[in-house]
Amino acid sequence: MKEEKRVQAPTIPFEKLYERVTAATGVSERFVHKLVNEEKHAEESNSKISTPGKKRQRKTGKQEVDNFDIGVIRRKIHEFYSVKKEIPTIPKLLSILKEDIDFKGERETLRKLLHKIGFRYKKTKSNRKVLCERNDVVAWRATYLQKIKENERGEKRPVIYLDETYIHSSHSTGKCWQGPEEDGDLEPVSKGNRWIIIHAGGEKGFVENALLVFKSNTKYGDYHDEMNSINFKKWVYEKLLPNLHEPSLIVMDNAPYHSICVNRCPNSNHSKADMQKWLEKNNVSFNEQMTKPQLYELIKRNKPAPEYEIDNLMKSHGHAILRLPPYHCDLNAIEMIWSSMKRNIADKNVGKSNVLMPQLIEDAFNKITPVQWKNICNHVKKIENEYRLKDAYLDEPFIIECQSDSETDSSDSEDELLEPVSNAGTSFKTGIPRVRPLELRDHDHNYFYKI
């Protein structure tokens, strides 16, 4: 068409309509014929031509970040205030994460990840938009750390960490020494069967005979679909409880099958009749003319604290349950044990049959000593103390010199400021020693956040 404009004459005769459309649009002539035929068929059948949806979701790159990296990111943000005493920005944070954990994403990926792990972008009283950690996550962490400290000072129950993970039968190191005539360990095309693992342990080592390994029915997807409440409760009855020989404090995450509620309340999706029935059962007065939203507000104001099936079971045997705050696997010692176990398997899994995988898993666990457990638990305690100190300093602001409004307006964007909310809106915190995370690089870990 540009050529026709230049020469002021058609380069393709108007009679060759299909050829002109092809030249103008870049699609094939065959495709143009197909569209014309579809239109004719639609006119004859009095129907419409189907077109692609207008609100298609944009495809974005996926950045895999394991739970250890999530913990590092959270602590890096805290360090900007408590150690460096400066405002963290996404460019600064991105630069540090690329160096420390080999973060592959860019600014938008990091921004989405921060939202994913519980940070929110809000305004302070100074009208500056800042990123702050969700209050419920901060409160949950504070309660968790307080109960851990109370146990250390009071009953001194042994802390037992439990969790689930998985591993593929093809799990290997990925790299090995090779020569001109030696290919080394060839990585299989298929990942093979997936094996689900559940275990528990503490400072003295693994809970004896608590290991459970079973083959998954699916090779991909979320293993939590198969590690359900029935399987978990069976493992607790048959493997865990018989081998806990003293009252213990059981630490676990908030997976759905860990948290089956026995006193569930109606939610906003329940029928009006269900809401009224619950209110009557719990002796809460209400008016028959009330609407569903009004009834639901009554339920929220009068609902009891949730009781969990597994908590009641453990309590009946003299044990206590403590749930980790969301996105804080760095406080679960057994998460680090998984990485060590998988490295042990990778070293030995050369040309092994799938049927030998349970034995490989058991042998890998046998190599992990109580001394290793003790060191990892001590590392977790350091991280706990780091959170305690930083959270305490976040409650004791000091004043720093701030830029004028005209200087800050241009930089007050969600992509840059990572300032936590304070009462004054311009407060920052004092410093503490930094605890470096263990160097655990296991990309086949059980949890992944894909952005």
DSSP state of 437: P
Integer angstrom CA distances of residue 230 from 224, 258, 310: 12, 10, 11
Structure tokens at 13: 């005769």
pLDDT (tens, 9 = 90+) of the chain, 451 residues, equals: 677 777 788 888 888 888 888 888 888 888 888 888 888 887 777 777 777 666 666 655 566 777 778 888 888 887 776 677 677 778 888 888 888 888 888 888 888 888 888 777 666 554 555 557 788 888 999 999 999 999 999 989 999 999 999 888 776 665 554 555 555 555 554 567 888 999 999 999 999 999 999 887 754 444 455 678 888 999 999 999 999 999 999 999 988 889 899 888 999 999 999 999 999 999 999 999 999 999 999 999 999 988 999 999 999 999 999 999 988 989 999 999 998 898 888 877 665 666 788 888 999 999 999 999 999 999 999 999 988 887 776 555 444 444 444 433 333 344 444 444 333 343 333 444 444 434 334 444 443 333 3
Structure tokens at 119: 């940070």
Can you state the angle between helices 333-348 and 67-82, rounded to 10 degrees? 130
Plot region of 284 (φ>0 → left; ψ -120 to 50 → alpha; else → beta):
beta
- Pairing mode of beta strands 205-206, 212-215: unpaired
- Calpha distance 116→112 (Å, rounded): 6
For tokens 């094996």, name the residue. Answer: 195
CATH number of 154-176+186-383: 3.30.420.10
- Calpha distance 88→85 (Å, rounded): 9
- Calpha distance 319→204 (Å, rounded): 17
250 φ, ψ (degrees, to nearest 5)? -95, 120
Task: Name the pTM for this structure.
Answer: 0.62
Q: Where are the domains of the chain?
A: 12-49, 64-137+403-450, 154-176+186-383
Give 57's Cβ-side CA count (13 Å radius).
3
- Calpha distance 310→231 (Å, rounded): 12
